Amino acid sequence: MSERGDFLLVRAGLRRVGIPLAAVIEVADLAEVHAVPLREPSVRGVAASKGGLVPVVHLGALLASESCPDERPGVGVLAEAGGAMVCFEVDEAEVVTGATMRPVPSGEAMPWALAVVQYDDDLVPILNLNTLRDRLAEAGTRS
């Protein structure tokens, strides 16, 4: 894989990741989030957006398989993942950029990454939103 792609680079906790730009609907300040009982600890709740309710997921917690921190980041990235909308809480939406995607290096534990790109001397993972959507759906059906 060596194709070029456009990405929104975001910071989620100590991690910088890319969200494929074609999937990004909008970046905005987070509105009110309503808590709902869920099995996935990274889901903070739901928020009204685009005439419906969308799940609000703390991206850093999802990638680290942790619970949402008490403090809410102020930025939400509304994205489309396999036909469903999801709002990712991030600490910062840094920049829109394009780069050549490369395979995830062997030995890296990033099952949620589609590829990596070189940015500012770092390898930045690009999210596979379908994999994350499937993980959230699976968590919702576990007993």
Q: Residue 15 and residue 129: Cα distance in Å, rounded?
A: 17
Q: 84-90 and 52-58: which strand pairing?
A: parallel
φ, ψ (nearest 5 deg) of residue 137:
-65, -40
- Enter the pTM of the model: 0.90
Q: Residue 50 and residue 54: Cα distance in Å, rounded?
A: 9
Residues 105-126 have pLDDT tens digits of 888 888 899 999 998 888 899 9
Furthest-apart CA atoms within the chain: distance in Å: 43
Q: Are 90 and 37 in contact (CB under 8 A)?
A: no
Q: Are 77 and 49 in contact (CB under 8 A)?
A: no
The domains of the chain, with CATH numbers, are 4-141 (2.40.50.180)
Residues 62-115 have pLDDT tens digits of 999 899 998 888 899 999 988 889 999 999 999 998 899 999 988 888 889 999
